[in-house]
Amino acid sequence: MLDIILKIFVRLQGDWMWQFAAGLYLVHLANNELRLAAISGFTGGGLILVFGGVIGNWIDNNERLKGTRIFCHMCYSVVPLF
């Protein structure tokens, strides 16, 4: 059980690292202004509000383990693109 918790923690750290790096890069692009980073964060939060319920319903209607695996693979493959 501890092994699973540690693996999840390491994966989350990777996601958080990409988000932090993207924010720093956006600040660098905008000449030390936070506007682009704020727009990126606001857009990400809005997308979570819009699609979070849809994804949750999709996972509830399918077999949970299969749905969770598909969603995690999609999520981990998209993270480096941003």
Which tens digits make up the pLDDT trace of 55-67?
888 878 888 888 8
Can you list the alpha helix ranges (DSSP code H) found in 30-82? 35-61, 64-78
Q: State residue 42's pLDDT score.
A: 93
Answer for the pair 59, 67: CB distance below 8 angstroms, yes or no: yes
Q: State residue 19's pLDDT score.
A: 81
Number of domains in the chain: 1
Q: What angle do CA 70, 72, 77 make, to 5 degrees?
A: 100
Query: Among 5, 18, 27, which residue's Cα sits nearest to residue 76?
Result: 18
pTM, entire model: 0.60
Q: Which residues of the chain have pLDDT under 50?
A: none
What is the residue range of 68's domain?
2-81
Q: In whole angstroms, give the CA distance from residue 38 to residue 17.
A: 17
